[in-house]
């Protein structure tokens, strides 16, 4: 096994003080007061959130909670890769790697790690236990940056190395949403049979032949229409990420506004009440991971990296992911799902679950539904 070092988060006080100073100095008086979320992040909510950030929020409390898990770092391909490893109970816990995306972080999974690793402590059966591995993507959070922008396919190769050579697993299940869904896809496509199966709550990949029938054509047309108001950030980060970074690296409020707008528009909220889906503490802790590590810049590289890898196309020849694949369809997902007929040309779908509620950030919004779907799918693999 490769060299693995224990790791603990301990952000220097001077870094926190600089963040809080920049928040307190933000020039609200020069901002135009455009109501609601239609034009971007709601200014009334941002002012309320920043007041809470300065007067109530306590990073040290959340830092301690994150440190309640076992953290490690290891070097793979000259990158210092950070990961949580929670060993499962019982005699045969299944190895499970869960990958986050942008603008998320390991914070997304804090509520699901222990129920997956220790199901008997949460009313379940120890026979459903997993060894849970949660890495920070290269360039995100507590992982070091790649030398150049890496896309999801190259990150999948790093994660397969982590699971097999570093941690010594013969096989594993890959799970993910957002970029984690793309990374898990490439694990199943490039790294079977070590990656034995994939569970995903997003469909990011595309088939070279495009839609085949009227239902698929309707989906494709509607998908393009839905994505029009969401494409701005994606195009910027996929083409000129460095330019954006100059502003963001100097503005904690800017980073928060850029990220929180996505949490509002991509989640299953009641109206536009972001806190019907996410608490202030959850939102701020996720933002703080970007700020205390100065990784907003390198985290955005993954969009550029995917462009260099060929975009959303899985295989020019029309090959698919042949390992068993479970699709968990949350109704308010940012990327609306194609009909099952389309998905089955890209994946070997063996489980298809249409969820009653939830959006893009499934592990935060509906952790119970996600956990149960992963467990049920895994029973078919054990």
Domain boundaries, the chain: 4-379
Strands 172-176, 94-99: pairing kind: parallel
pLDDT of residue 33: 85
| CB-based contact 323:195 (threshold 8 Å) | yes
Q: What is the pLDDT of residue 276?
A: 97
CA distance 98 to 331: 21
What the block records as the tokens of 61 is 């409390």
Q: What is the pLDDT, as a whole number, of residue 32?
A: 85
What pLDDT does residue 181 have? 98
Active site members: 178, 303, 360
Model confidence over 74-109: pLDDT tens digits?
999 999 999 999 999 999 999 999 999 999 999 999
- Taking a C-beta distance cutoff of 8 angstroms, is the pair 175, 98 a contact? yes
pLDDT of 231: 86
Secondary-structure breakdown of the chain: helix, strand, coil percentages, each rounded to the nearest 5: 45, 15, 35
Cα torsion for 226, 233, 329, 118, to the nearest 10°? -160
Q: How far apart are CA 4 and CA 81, in angstroms?
A: 10
- pTM of this prediction? 0.97
Beta bridge partners of 324: 348
Query: Could you say which residues of the chain have pLDDT below 70?
Result: 1
User: Residue 270: its pLDDT value, please?
Assistant: 93
Query: Thinking of the domain 4-379, which architecture would CATH place it in?
Result: 3-Layer(aba) Sandwich (3.40)
């Amino acid at each position: 096994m490769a060299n693995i070092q224990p790791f603990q988060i301990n952000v220097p006080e001077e870094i926190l003080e600089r963040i809080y100073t920049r928040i307190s100095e933000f020039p609200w008086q020069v901002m135009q007061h455009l109501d609601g979320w239609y034009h971007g992040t709601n200014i009334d909510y941002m002012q309320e959130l920043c007041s809470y950030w300065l007067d109530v929020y306590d990073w040290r409390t959340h830092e301690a909670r994150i440190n309640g898990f076992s953290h490690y770092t290891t070097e793979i391909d000259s990158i210092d890769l950070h990961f949580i490893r929670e060993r499962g109970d019982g005699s045969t816990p299944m190895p499970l790697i869960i990958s986050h995306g942008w603008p998320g972080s390991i914070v997304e999974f804090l509520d699901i790690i222990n129920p997956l690793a220790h199901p008997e402590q949460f009313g379940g059966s120890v026979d459903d236990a997993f060894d849970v591995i949660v890495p920070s993507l290269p360039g995100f959070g507590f992982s070091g940056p790649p030398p150049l922008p890496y896309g999801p396919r190259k990150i999948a190769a790093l994660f397969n190395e982590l699971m097999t050579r570093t941690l010594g697993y013969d096989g594993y299940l890959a799970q993910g949403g957002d970029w984690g869904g793309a990374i898990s896809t490439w694990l199943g496509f490039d790294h079977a049979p070590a990656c034995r199966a994939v569970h995903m709550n997003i469909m990011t990949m595309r088939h070279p032949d495009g839609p085949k029938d009227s239902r698929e054509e309707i989906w494709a047309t509607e998908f393009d229409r839905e994505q029009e108001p969401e494409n701005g950030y994606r195009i910027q980060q996929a083409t000129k990420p460095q330019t954006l970074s100059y502003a963001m690296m100097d503005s904690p409020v800017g980073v928060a506004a850029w990220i929180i707008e996505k949490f509002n528009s991509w989640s299953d909220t009641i109206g536009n009440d972001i806190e019907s889906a996410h608490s202030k503490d959850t939102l701020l802790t996720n933002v703080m991971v970007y700020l205390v590590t100065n990784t907003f810049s390198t985290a955005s590289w993954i969009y550029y990296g995917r462009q260099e890898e060929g975009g959303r196309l899985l295989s020019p020849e029309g090959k698919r992911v042949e390992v068993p694949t479970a699709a968990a369809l949350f109704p308010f997902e940012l990327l609306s799902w194609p009909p099952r007929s389309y998905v089955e040309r890209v994946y070997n779908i063996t489980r298809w679950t249409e969820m009653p509620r939830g959006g893009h950030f499934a592990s935060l919004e509906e952790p119970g539904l996600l956990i149960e779907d992963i467990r049920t799918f895994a029973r078919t693999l054990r």
